[in-house]
Structure 1
Amino acid sequence: MIASILIRSGAPIHGGFGIRSTRGSDQDKGARRQAFGGRYNAAAIAMAAGLLAVAPAVHAQEQPTGSAPANDPWEGFNRGAFKLGMGLDKVLLAPIAHGYMAVTPRPVRNRVSSVVYNLGEPNTVINFALQGKPKRAMRSTARFVVNSTVGVLGLFDVASKMHLPRRDSDFGQTFGYYGAGPGAYIYVPLMGPLNVRDGIGRALDMVTDPVSAVAGGVSTDFGKARLGVTIVDVRASADPAFRALKDSPDPYVAARSAYGQYREAFIRQATGAAEDLPDFDSPPSDTAPATPSPQ
């Protein structure tokens, strides 16, 4: 889990889950969206990445007849890593996150989430530029400038009210945009769900993070503070996903399915094959959809 945080505190995970929930304001839902597959680079995110997408109803389901099996050649190792990761969360991150949630009002937590999200915006700019989308790159740049100034260092999402909506991107999406397939699924202890494409992309997100570069990396006081805040914030945002997993017949399959489907939808969104990310109101199937060719 912790390595994934390095992504957004000097290492990003971009994207944004389309999550539908019957509780909370649009702002609350936006904060929960940020927690996965996307642009939060926190420890909890890595492990739970993809789980929050199905937090309202995480249920493993049998693979439909005729569907392609998940590309999981190292399932034995992955299941062991998943069990280890969940165990570490239970004894370390969950207690910290629950304490944070108990003493911090939701409006304050939302402001923290907004700051964490804003610090990852420059990575989105880079990837939209690499995808040949200058208008989106400019909008994301404008979002970062507006929210960092008028929005008081990202505390408030003023840009959205100015018709500059959030649009996420990362190197994994950029690779997919140019036709790279996901490769095999792997669950890395302390990092969470990945595939080969997104693993390479995540590493590039980390080393190219402009905010981390300007601030001097994770070793500085700012870097350490950003890392710590991101870890706690992301794990708190991911809490519904972890709770939902407890009710799943097979948490490993539920996590793998959610992650795979979210990332596939994220790639399709970049190529124009899908306008919005899925809401996952229904249990996800454990299939491996084909990666679309760039438009």
Structure 2
Amino acid sequence: MPHRYTAVLLLIVTLALSACASNGSAKAGAAGAASDPWETVNRKTDAFNTAVDKATLKPLAKGYRKIMPDLARRGISNFFDNLGTPAVALNNFLQGKGRDGFVDIGRFLMNSTVGIGGLIDVGTEFGLTEHDEDFGQTLAVWGVGDGPYVVIPFFGPSTLRDALARPVDILSGPLHYYENSSVRDKLRVLQAIDLRTRLLTAERFLEDSNDRYITLRESYLQNRNYKIYDGDPPMDDDFYDDIYDDMLDEEP
């Protein structure tokens, strides 16, 4: 992508996110009820994504898991996790978490050298904690509101804020700047299969639910809230109200 198109794309994302910020603080909205005004369209998009997944990525992931040894799959997962570490470090710095950012840099350097290009997670063995940050989380820390829940074709569940931040995540990844398009595209396909394989076990939870769409939506939003607060999200006030109401109902 030429640099001028990249600059225009970033400008569009920034302007759109400014509008998204009018929905209020992300940390205030993340703990509340899901905002899903586009549920009708979202359900159709989710059904489309599910159909495409069943015809493409899911069988590929099952075959990949069946023929690829555990050790090899773990190495490939480590490789892609390591490849995304510089972007994680950048977002930690943008969020004001300098210590975590330097830990990420240390992990990347150690895994890329001693860990043979990231195939072996040496950093964890040396106490360098792995983090999971993206630009959507950074915007949340800066006070940009979630916006409505939205299901993106082919990509799945998101919020409006995270959907608009996704291009920045793509631009911050090293694969985007790898000039050999043939190798780059093959790596992206392998990365998608690797990610889908990791989700095979978790999807059983969705299959057992009464309403797959609602279960996926709530799980996604709770997981995003968990990540934004680094594993310590605030308790929703409605949760305490429900407990109080239950206690009143149980009184004689």
Q: TM-score range by the shorter chain?
A: 0.7 to 0.9
Instruction: Work out the CA distance in 1 between the residues paired with 2:191 and 2:120.
Output: 17
Q: Unmatched 5+ residue regions in structure 2?
A: 1-30, 234-238, 240-252
Map 1:72-87 to 2 at 5 A.
Answer: 72-87=36-51
Question: Does the 8 A contact of 2:132 with 2:227 survive in 1?
Answer: no
Q: CA deviation at 1:137?
A: 1.2
Match of 2:212 in 1: 251
- Say if 2:66 is the partner of 1:105: no
- Say if 2:138 is the partner of 1:174: yes
Alignment partner of 2:148 out of 184, 193, 204? 184
Residues 14-38 of structure 1 deviation map (CA, whole Å, 9 limit, x = unaligned): xxxxxxxxxxxxxxxxxxxxxxxxx
Match of 2:24 in 1: none
Give the residue type in structure 1 aligned to 2:175: S
- Say if 2:78 is the partner of 1:114: yes
Residues 79-107 of structure 1 deviation map (CA, whole Å, 9 limit, x = unaligned): 00001111111111111111111111222
Q: Tell me which of the two structures has the higher relative contact order, counting C-alpha pairs closer than 8 angstroms and 6 or more residues apart.
A: 1
Give the residue type in structure 2 aligned to 1:141: I
Where is the helix percentage greater, Structure 1 or Structure 2? Answer: 2
Residues 215-239 of structure 1 deviation map (CA, whole Å, 9 limit, x = unaligned): 23xx623311210110111111111
Match of 1:94 in 2: 58
Instruction: Work out the CA distance in 2 between the residues paired with 1:188 and 1:168.
Output: 21
| Cα 1:124–1:176 shift into 2, 3 Å | same
- Say if 2:233 is the partner of 1:263: no
Question: Does the 8 A contact of 2:135 with 2:168 survive in 1?
Answer: yes
**Larger Cα Rg: Structure 1 or Structure 2?**
2
The count of corresponding residues between Structure 1 and Structure 2 is 204
Instruction: Work out the CA distance in 2 between the residues paired with 1:139 and 1:88.
Output: 38
Instruction: Work out the CA distance in 2 between the residues paired with 1:122 and 1:251.
Output: 35
Which runs of at least 4 in structure 1 moved beyond 4 Å after TM superposition?
Answer: none
Map 1:35-46 to 2 at 5 A.
Answer: none
Match of 2:200 in 1: 239
Match of 2:3 in 1: none
Give the residue type in structure 1 aligned to 2:37: P
Match of 2:168 in 1: 204
| Cα 1:69–1:167 shift into 2, 3 Å | closer
Instruction: Work out the CA distance in 1 between the residues paired with 2:213 and 2:232.
Output: 28
Map 1:13-28 to 2 at 5 A.
Answer: none
Q: CA deviation at 1:213?
A: 4.6
Give the residue type in structure 2 aligned to 1:212: L
The two structures have a TM-score, normalised by structure 1, of 0.66
Instruction: Work out the CA distance in 1 between the residues paired with 2:131 and 2:195.
Output: 19
Please give the secondary structure, in 2, of the residue aligned with 1:193.
Answer: strand
Please give the secondary structure, in 1, of the residue aligned with 2:201.
Answer: helix
Instruction: Work out the CA distance in 2 between the residues paired with 1:208 and 1:123.
Output: 6
Q: Unmatched 5+ residue regions in structure 1?
A: 1-66, 277-286, 288-295
Residues 29-64 of structure 1 deviation map (CA, whole Å, 9 limit, x = unaligned): xxxxxxxxxxxxxxxxxxxxxxxxxxxxxxxxxxxx
Residues 139-163 of structure 1 deviation map (CA, whole Å, 9 limit, x = unaligned): 1011111001100011111011111
| Cα 1:131–1:96 shift into 2, 3 Å | same
Instruction: Work out the CA distance in 2 between the residues paired with 1:160 and 1:228.
Output: 27
Map 1:98-177 to 2 at 5 A.
Answer: 98-177=62-141
